Structure 1
Amino acid sequence: MSVHDTFTQYVMPTYGRFPLVPEKAEGSWLWDDQGNKYLDFCTGIAVCSIGHCHPRLVTAIQQQASKLMHCSNLYEIPQQAELAKTIVENFVKIPGKVFFSNSGAEANEGLIKLARKFGNSKPSTDGTPRPEVITFRNSFHGRTMATLTATGQDAIQKGFAPILPGINYAIYNDLDSVKAQITDKTAAILLEPIQGEGGIFSATAEFLNGLAALCKDHDLLLMLDEVQAGFGRLGHDMAWRAIAPDVQPDAISWAKGMGGGFPVGAFWVSDRAISDGVTLSSQLGPRTHGSTYGGNPLACAASLAVLAEIKEAKLNDNVIAREQQIRATLAEWNHPAIKELRGKGLMLGFALEPSAIKTAEGVTPALALVLKLTEKGMLTVPAGAETLRWLPALNVSQQEVEHALALLKEALDELAA
């Protein structure tokens, strides 16, 4: 039985999978079971942040697996403590505490629970709890019931009614729409610094600074979903600092690239005081939250290796240089099929001109381009119907980017309407 037939018979059809069977990978390259070689600018959707099978990551996993893979969070796991310290002191650089999960959806669930707990601890003036969170249209926060509710896309929520109460949607980069959603029941605002699945739309500095001011004025939490954008993806340790460096968030979620391919997620909560002698980070105490696997020794060893490589190899500098290289080349092309390049760092979205791209019936312009690039030996991913997304490894080379751009130009020219 072929891999395709086995999938069809035994695996739930939750993904529209491409007809490609991965077999091995190294750095920015992946090979399928037929021996075909691909330049990987998808990287597991921003997961393999230091490339496939990086020796530092492989060694860390092997060494830790030979000693201790898992133990209960009832005990003090040294790798977890070290990773939390690394995140707080070397990346966030604001006093706070970290909870470890296994995925971005779990991390965002934690932020939603934090907002509910805060809204109960700091109720409205009449003493009633504040259970509501403002999120944004076109956002994506996960596929659990709470996070698909937080996701401002009807297509993600379709078929799961009734969605959970307590989420209100504003318009991204529109402060007036946020103000209109704030009531005496609002506890927090949750947003992505760059909307990933929604099409690679970046928040403006004015918008992020404005949200911070609204949160201060109304005693709300400012919570950032950096699951796709964090840990160097935008050329900065933290994604929000690439946009509005003076903002002081109350909580941040991560996953994807922080493990380099090993499943790990986390969220950070500020140590700031919310009342006399009470900190925000103390809100989720014993019996309020937990995870069987979150923060296990193996996951933490993997993440420590990835974060160390990002810092020591100065990958933020490479991310910024490669973005400049891509933007300079596109400016030279002035290609009619590309309307604009959105995003920052190596989280980039090529906004396509639909009328300039030939597509088959039922195929979006972005998907047509993804399929054409796959034929040419390059892996990419759409971000909506009319946006091609690039998420290469943070250590992708100048030569690999040159090759990717050449393939993109060939594909666009061949699809020209």
Structure 2
Amino acid sequence: MDRIVVVGAGQAGASLVARLRANGYGGALTLIGEEPVPPYQRPPLSKAYLLGEMDLERLYLRPESFYDDKEITLKKGAAVTAIDRAAQTVTVGGEALPYDALALTTGSVPRRLPAAIGGDLGGVVTVRTLGDVDAMAHRFGAGARVLIVGGGYIGLEAAAVAAKRGLDVTLVEAADRILARVAAPETADYFRALHEANGVRILEGAGLDRLIGDDHVTAARLTDGTEIAVDFVVAGIGIAPCTELAEKAGIETDNGIRVDEYGRTSDPAIWAAGDCASFPHAGGRIRLESVGNAIDQAERVADNILGANTPYIPKPWFWSDQYDTKLQIAGLNSGYDRVVTRSGAGEAVSHWYFCDGRLIAVDAMNDPRAYMVGKRLIEAGKSPDPDAIADPESDLKALMKA
């Protein structure tokens, strides 16, 4: 295999090319990204970077010199417009670039508010790329009125940063509660109280009717008729996988680019990893939006491109930083039927999810010990006694031996 091309220069793409070189691949290797900068970390964008606590170079996953040193051709600010599967080429900048193996690590894009309700007005922003954050940074001045639309982790993190900058923050969530799709009521209660203690106004069960303004948003009308004056709006309503390039090439998609357990698409010469990839899991298919998955799946795909033929088995973990709280999540809580709460030292607390008596996930707030033990138990397939978990006097480490 003489030529490998990777499309998408985010966490997954950067991890994939680094792994290929670490595995001894010596052929031509090209990484193509649409943004004009080297691959960078996304999580700090809306937190430390926006707060001015992290400079641009610290965002980079690796120094730009890394790609030269490893003889990886990094094409920045370059959009791939087509894949010719028969000729095995990708079109970038009018050039047909040949490949023997192609990996799609195209990531995801933020969902935007519909233009029909004013989503195209000036001052309506999303938080996803470096360009997004640089363009909105000037809006985060003390006293500015911001409306956050969406009570998932994206919206809550944006609200936390805005509150820390002294903005007047209102968050609206159309569902009955924040975090309705991703966390138990206990975790939602914790973060609602945290945000309200920091001055954020949270309106649940509050649908957005439309945004008001001529060229720039000036107010928002909710479905109950309430109007809120705003200076700008942050849409935090989720992300969608980038599948357009794959679809145009006739590659199968299914809530993302459909891959098998090895990361191979419906075209045997094309692979996918990261936010954009939908893969087999527990008798169904899932797509994981996390740094951990982007790294782990990309590295496994790199191994398999070189012939390892090893299935990808995810070990899901996530995190969210809000104010002085670090939330760490292990596992997937889908289908839980019981939540057990454990109090830790100080203000630490964790929520343990069970399904039919089996431990499936843990949310740990400022409790890294609970997170690590929970993660190890889940990965080992062990399910401790819920009563032992709930007892703050019980030894968490002892649960590993049970």
TM-score (norm 2): 0.31
TM-score of the two chains, using structure 1 as the length reference = 0.31
Instruction: Select the structure with the greater relative contact order (CA < 8 A; seq sep ≥ 6).
Output: 1
**Between structures 1 and 2, the one with greater helix share:** 1
